[in-house]
Amino acid sequence: MGVLTLGIVTGLAAEARLARPLGLVRAGGGLPAGAQAAAEWLVSQGVDGLLSFGLAGGLDPALRAGTIVLAAGVREDGRLTTTDPALSARFGQADGVLLAGSAVLAAACEKAALFAATGALAIDLESGAVARVAARHRLPFAVLRAICDPAERDLPPVALVALDARGGIGALPRWCATPRNCRRSSPLPATPPPRARRCEGACGPADQSAASATCLPLGWSCASFAMVSST
């Protein structure tokens, strides 16, 4: 594969820090529009390929927190875009489909319904935008993601309100600086969506995985929270 400079799109700033050794990185803030802008900026810098990198929500119940997903394709609005085999091979054997979402999927019942309908392994908010930008500029692209919240886990309300536009963790997560606080509910500065669940019990053994160092705020690992927030 002759990719000389790899452009990497993440949602979180913490993910971007992990990806820096792989190429030129831009965090999009955790939404599709931001991911598209990040990918377009990377193209303007002369990258030769694009990689969607970071966390994903599990749809396949067999995938545990920390499982690596190297997708062979991205499905968005019913369209399947295949990833570049040669670029993907730099990271391993690509397999399965990742679903491009437009908003955070908070409820386990919604994840179960999407898995039944699509068979997709996981869902994220950046990969669809990366795929579209890569196709527009005729660049190879790949998807490398780690499962943060498994299929059976509901996300706490704070997961939906805590990121800023640059993919950074804002002032809100200071509330959850200790496991004691993270295990109980607390008033939030924004009204969470009605389907979002409480934060009780969110810091469990499943969070202590290879992905938990950046699994914030999505998977809500309190131990890694302190590490990421202090950097």
- The total number of residues shown for the chain amounts to 231
CA distances from 160 to 77, 110, 230 (A): 22, 15, 21
What pLDDT sits at residue 122? 97
Distance between CA atoms of residues 131 and 52, nearest Å: 9
Q: Is 117 left (phi over 0), alpha (psi -120 to 50) or beta?
A: alpha
Please report the domains of the chain, with CATH numbers, ordered by start residue.
Answer: 6-147 (3.40.50.1580)
Give the mean model confidence (pLDDT) for residues 48-67. Answer: 96
**pLDDT per residue over 67-101, tens digit each?**
999 999 999 998 999 999 999 999 999 999 999 99
- Element holding 226 (H helix, E strand): helix 222-229
What pLDDT sits at residue 166? 58
**pLDDT per residue over 92-121, tens digit each?**
999 999 999 988 888 999 999 999 999 999
Give the mean model confidence (pLDDT) for residues 137-145. Answer: 97
CA distances from 109 to 25, 50, 121 (A): 34, 32, 15
Q: Is 19 left (phi over 0), alpha (psi -120 to 50) or beta?
A: alpha
pTM exceeds 0.85, yes or no: no
